[in-house]
């Protein structure tokens, strides 16, 4: 049996992420580069076009079902998508519920681009709800005010448009701050 036929059988001729039955194609889950049943999933055209940079946020609500798959490459891909979408409260909730074996977790993290997650000045990943300290004086764009070094921003949110930015309140004012100018508390 060919690899594509095996993938079709395993997935019951449906996208393994959203269950669509149209225009299915194999997707090799990075960092692997060879098409094998153990390192690939079958996805629809919609999922394939957004797998590296999700744009239709509501389409990815399907991950609430697919994240429970017993198929390792499906779990890895679902975790990566939820991580990319973790600025959405529903995606963060699903990510918090998701369980993966250590081997799959390592695979998922190896294939993530550093551009997909906000990192503080020490390279530590920032998550929604974290508290951070500003590491240098930062001018507030469009204002003559400055956020002073040492200012604490509590309960940050992540920007859905740019993973290098975080959102929070400092001195009673809501603002975006570049993550690399902060240190996680």
Cα 66 from Cα 140, distance rounded (Å): 42
Structure-model confidence comparison of residues 92 and 12, the more confident one: 12
pLDDT grade for 76, boundaries at 50, 70 and 90: very high
- Residue 10 confidence (pLDDT) above 70: yes
Note the pTM of the prediction, 2 decimals.
Answer: 0.63
**Which residue bears the tokens 């519920």?**
97
Q: How confident is the model at residue 160 (pLDDT cuts 50, 70, 90)?
A: low
The pLDDT of residue 105: 83
Buried b (16+ CB within 10 A) or exposed e, 123-159: eebbbbebebbbbeebeeeeeeeebeeebebeebbbb
**Under 8 Å between Cβ of 184 and 164:** no
Instruction: Give me the domains of the chain, ranges plus CATH numbers.
Output: 3-113 (no CATH), 132-184 (2.30.30.40)
The predicted-structure confidence for 16-51, as pLDDT tens digits, reads as follows 999 999 999 999 998 888 899 999 999 999 999 999
Listed range (2-16, 21-35, 66-80, 138-152) with the worst mean pLDDT = 138-152
């Amino acid at each position: 049996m060919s690899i594509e036929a095996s993938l079709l059988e395993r997935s019951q001729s449906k996208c393994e992420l959203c269950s669509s039955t149209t225009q299915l194609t194999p997707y090799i889950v990075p960092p692997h580069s060879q098409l094998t049943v153990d390192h690939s999933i079958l996805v629809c055209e919609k999922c394939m076009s957004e797998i590296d940079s999700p744009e239709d946020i509501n389409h990815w609500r399907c991950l609430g079902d697919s994240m429970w798959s017993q198929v390792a490459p499906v779990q890895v891909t679902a975790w990566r998508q939820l991580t990319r979408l973790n600025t959405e409260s529903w995606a963060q909730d699903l990510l918090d519920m998701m369980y993966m074996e250590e081997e799959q977790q390592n695979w998922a993290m190896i294939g993530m681009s550093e551009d997909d997650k906000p990192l503080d000045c020490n390279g530590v990943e920032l998550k929604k709800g974290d508290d951070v300290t500003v590491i240098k004086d930062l001018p507030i764009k469009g204002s003559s005010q400055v956020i002073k070094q040492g200012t604490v921003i509590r309960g940050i949110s992540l920007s859905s448009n740019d993973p290098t930015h975080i959102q929070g309140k400092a001195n009673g004012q809501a603002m975006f701050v570049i993550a690399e100018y902060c240190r996680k508390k």
